Amino acid sequence: MKTFLVSLSLLLATSSFAQFDGQALSPGSLAIHKDSSAILAWAVTCEVSRGWLYISDKSLGLASHGTDDMGADYADGLEVVSLGDSGVATLAFNPSIANGPGPDFAVFENSFSHFFLELAFVEVSSNGADFYRFPAISNYPDTAQIGPFDPISDPTRLRNLAGKYVANFGTPFDLEELDSIPELNINQITHVRIVDVVGSVNPSYGSQDVNGNYINDPFPTPFPSSGFDLDGVAVLHQGPLSFDELTSESILLYPNPARSGQKLSVASEGIIDEIQVFSVDGGTLFMGSEAAFQSLILKQGTYLVELTSNGNSVVKKLVVY
């Protein structure tokens, strides 16, 4: 899996002293409320690679608050998954996210106060393997560290960083900004990746914005809920469905959830011609017949299963525990 950092020369030239939109509900704010009528859907799956409680003392272990599935589905400001220092969440979408007028999706964090903002980078992929990062900007000074309980409350200094608003309000992202990347299909974004910002100004492990500034964020936060607390990713513009909705209910994948090693079966009105199993990061794990699928052993995790019958494909979510 690859990540490409997008550097826009115009941003580099003009962003150092720019002022961006403010906190949710303030005049001109671009924040998206979780109940906005503009929201069409939420992520199908979320898979988290936990980061550290305190990246400079890894003996403390990893963040542990919440479960992966809390990063998908509707944002409620309560059920979240904590990424930890440098933690990563990869979310899959079906239908895909498409480029449209204005912002195309929004990322929600559960900041309990506009005085305490935890930030994350946002990356997108149209193939599940190659990810491209939105050019993030932080105009907070990076000369003195913001402590774990010090206020960081001015979103007008932040751009393209998830978490700049309080809970229940999502940070919007516009795919048009990545239109110049030929390898990225901005009309078919299948995956979004959230990468926790390590808010240290220490060059040994701090995160830098597109201008090379260290992103000064409350640090350290050595708690089970360390790092960015992902509440959900909302879709504002959708691409076409990757399967015919009319056939999705005619195919049953069971048991689901399934135990690791348990035999998997398919019930269908027609003959299943081919089955493919994908990891949530887009990798192909299996391709074969229904009979071969029944002998497949999957480890614990969340998968996308594509079943093809008579030229129609249906994608099912499979959870193995």
Give per-residue pLDDT as tens, 91-105: 998 889 999 999 999
Residues 279 and 172 grouped into a single domain: no
pLDDT tops 70 at residue 269: no
pLDDT range class, residue 257, cuts 50, 70, 90: confident
What is the per-residue pLDDT across 4-26, written as a single tens digit (0 to 9) for each?
Answer: 665 544 344 344 455 899 999 99
**Residue 176 sits in which domain range?**
32-235
> Does 7 reside within a domain?
no
Q: 42 and 143: one domain?
A: yes
Position 149 scores a pLDDT of 83
pLDDT at 265: 85
Provide the number of structural domains found in the chain: 2
Q: In whole angstroms, what is the distance from residue 142 CA to residue 115 CA? A: 18
Question: Is 4 part of a structural domain of the chain?
Answer: no
Question: Strand 251-254 vs strand 265-268: parallel, antiparallel, or unpaired?
Answer: antiparallel
pLDDT at 73 over 70: yes
Same domain for 196 and 302?
Answer: no
Is the same domain home to 99 and 221?
A: yes
Identify the CATH number of the domain in which residue 272 sits. Answer: 2.60.40
Compute the average pLDDT of residues 207-218. 96
For CA atoms 42, 48, 54, 60, the dihedral sign is: positive
Are 54 and 63 a contacting pair, CB within 8 Å?
no
Beta bridge partners of 92: 45, 191
Q: How far is CA 224 from CA 110, 220, 221, 297, in A?
A: 15, 12, 9, 32
Looking at the whole model, is its pTM more than 0.85? no
* Residue 57: pLDDT over 90: yes
Measured between alpha carbons, how far is 166 from 97 in angstroms, rounded to an integer? 24
Is there a domain that residue 144 lies in? yes
Judge if 216 and 260 occupy the same domain: no
Asked whether residue 31 carries a pLDDT value surpassing 90, the answer given is: yes
107 and 256, same domain (yes or no): no
Same domain assignment for residues 43 and 190:
yes
